[in-house]
Amino acid sequence: MVRLGCALLFASTLLFGCNRSEQATAEARPTHTKAAAAAKAAEKAKALEKAKAKPEQNEHADEPRRFVVPFAWEASRDEPLSQTRAYLKEILADNHVYMEHGPKFFASFADGQKPRATVLTCADSRVHTSAFDTTPENDDFMVRNIGNQVNNALGSVEYGVEHLETPVLMILGHSGCGAVKAAMGDISTQSEAVRHELENLHVSKPKTGVSADAAWSEAVVENVHSQVAIALQHFGSRVQEGKLTVVGVVYDFRNDLGHGSGKITIVDVNGNSDASRMQAFVEAIENDAAPGASRKKDGARGKRGDVERADSGSASEAANNPLSPELKRVVDRANEMANQASAPKLRTAAPAPSPAAASGH
């Protein structure tokens, strides 16, 4: 009897212990699972917070890797690969035509560049040298960014003006400029990179009663004046010495200024923007009576002759070569309109080459 009691006691103890072990295991399992889930959720939240903090950096975060060269034909001409193939085909064909200029043409500038103008213009695909120069090779040192901004490309502009010593810095804005339109509104919605390029482009907000297109057109011109002013801050000493002329122009392919579609309009010369003076300035240079250097160019569009300097004659000949009566009248008219006492007057005779020769405009 005692033995039976002991056996029952042992069995109950064994059974009770097993139940407690299973219960402990069952209680521990959900605790472990919850801890793992919590850790995973915390890790995910941390990654999400990091992504939100720097969205622009993750915007183009593809790691460097190799991609296949696309050769398959696409179903539509509008597909990116189809457009890529068409574009590359066209530029290769155009390059073959361009090579027909021959070795003599390229030899004229193969060993170095000597441009006459540093041209700062917008990166807009509708703006190209063909609008103002049919022979740009070795003549236009091109600098481009959105909004034709001096400070955003100061190194390149400085290289053209001071190292290549171009006598002209032309700042070319254009009608329908997207950068100017963006600067007229809220740029906070743009990506960080675009905001960085637009943060120094300041134009007036649209005025009440002025149409959106008119306000846009005025802002384009205002930006050109602003960029000319910035350029004068950097290169004013060269302008004062007569080594540089800063010209602000607008390429108007929308005819917003009303002078004709595609017109290049000079709106600013060395900080002077009076419309009458600009007209007189244009009339003076279009008469082409000045004895300065010029470059011979083939008159046929798209066919470029050899680029060379024309003989400008001696300094004494230049000093004794008076302006034509018509041009003298234009110069006198410009002098009469010079309201600022600090503005140097235009000469009534063609000047000899000197450091101050270009400061009259």
Residue 232, pLDDT score = 97
Q: Domains in the chain, start-ordered, CATH in brackets? A: 108-272 (3.40.1050.10), 274-296+318-361 (no CATH)
Q: Which of 72, 91, 92 is nearest to 82 (CA)?
A: 72
The pLDDT value given to residue 348: 37
C-alpha to C-alpha distance for 288 and 291, rounded to whole angstroms: 8
DSSP 298-346: -SSTT------BPP---HHHHHT-BPPHHHHHHHHHHHHT---TTSPPP
191 touches 56 (CB < 8 A): yes
What distance in Å separates the CA atoms of residue 165 and residue 243, rounded to the nearest whole number? 8
- pLDDT, residue 313, reads 40
The burial class, CB within 10 Å (0-12 / 13-18 / 19+), for 282 is middle
CA atoms within 13 A on the CB side of 307: 20
Give the pLDDT means over successive 10-residue stretches in the chain (361 positions): 53 51 51 68 71 56 72 76 91 97 96 97 97 96 98 98 98 98 94 95 90 95 97 97 97 96 97 94 81 50 38 41 49 48 39 41 37
Judge contact between 275 and 197, C-beta under 8 A: no
Say what the pLDDT of residue 289 is: 56
At residue 205, the pLDDT reads: 86
Provide the whole-model pTM: 0.65
Instruction: Please answer whether residues 231 and 157 qualify as being in contact, where contact means their C-beta atoms are separated by less than 8 angstroms.
Output: yes
Q: With residue 259 as reference, give the H or E element that holds it.
A: none
pLDDT at 208: 87
Query: Among the residues of the chain, which ranges form H helices?
Result: 2-53, 55-59, 80-98, 103-107, 154-158, 178-184, 192-198, 212-240, 275-287, 315-319, 325-336
pLDDT, position 51: 57
Structure confidence at residue 150 (pLDDT) = 98
Short-list 234, 222, 150, 210, CA closest to 183: 222
Name the DSSP class of 78: T
Question: Which among 142, 360, 330, 200 is positioned nearest to 270, based on CA atoms?
Answer: 360
pLDDT of residue 71: 65
| Partners of 171 in the β-ladder | 120, 248
Residues 144, 123: contact at Cβ < 8 Å?
Answer: yes
